[in-house]
Amino acid sequence: MGRKKQTLPPEEEAVVLANVAEQAQRYDDMVTYMKDRVKAGKALAREEREMLAAAFKGLMSSRRFAVRVAKSVQEQEEGAEKEKNAALAAGYLSKVRLELQGICIQVLEILEGILLPKAEIGEPKVFYLKMQADYYRYLAEFLEGDGQREAVASAAETYVAATVEAETHLMVTHPVRLGVALNHAVFQHTVLKDPAAAAQIVRDSLELAARSLEGMPKEAVRDSQPLVSIMQDNLKMWSDEAAPE
């Protein structure tokens, strides 16, 4: 008699397939599998939350780059008074912006409609609030007019909510709390064009973390160190920008 074929529960199967898709850099497939995992209903484990974020980040990265390139080309062609070329670049820019907007809307619908309403207090809720704020920030980076103003306001509000949740429930050295501070600062710098405010957010976070990291287990230090290094680099850059000439 042949062995009985083993089957995984649908949510586990979706995670296995998402892992394969990630290694193959097939982020469209990875998003599909992680959406299946979310729809299975059970709360996501930490690794699954990170996979969901990685799936959408993979979709976003190439398109965000394409937006920057297309906008640069459009400006170059306009500067050279090549109106037809500039119009073609502008058309392509609009196409990629629509793709980006569609991805952001997908993420926000999953977060606001499924994950955040039943998120556990603490790390899960902070993670989802941070992700929500990040995708409003992405919208603010490439939208224009009323859409941009609404995205800026939503991002600002959600970064504050994520910060309050993190300060209430997570240690100052927790990577997710550090990530909230870093990305809130990036929003201040990139979208609001306020390097002084960005530097202050990072400075406050680093000062708290530095006091707490002394004497902590090596594992805790190792987990927080990559974010601390990025924040230190950004702090130097933003402080220089904010310094009066």
Read off the pLDDT of residues 33-67 as tens digits, 9 standing for 90 and up.
999 999 998 999 999 999 999 999 999 998 889 99
Residues of the chain with pLDDT under 50: 1
Q: What is the rounded CA–CA span in Å between residue 51 and residue 16? A: 11
What per-residue confidence (pLDDT) applies to 240? Answer: 85
Contact 162, 129 (CB under 8 A): yes
Q: What is the mean pLDDT of the chain?
A: 92
Question: What does the block give as tokens for 115?
Answer: 């994950």
- pTM for the model: 0.91
DSSP states along 119-178: PPTTHHHHHHHHHHHHHHHHHHHH--HHHHHHHHHHHHHHHHHHHHHHHHHS-TT-HHHH
> Could you give the domains of the chain?
119-245 (1.20.190.20)
What per-residue confidence (pLDDT) applies to 215? Answer: 64
Long-range Cβ contact pairs of 228-237 (< 8 A, separation 24 or more)? 228/178, 230/182, 231/178, 231/181, 231/182, 231/185, 231/202, 231/205, 231/206, 232/206, 234/182, 234/185, 234/186, 234/189, 234/198, 234/202, 235/199, 235/202, 235/203, 235/206
Question: What does the block give as tokens for 52?
Answer: 């969901």
What per-residue confidence (pLDDT) applies to 223? Answer: 80
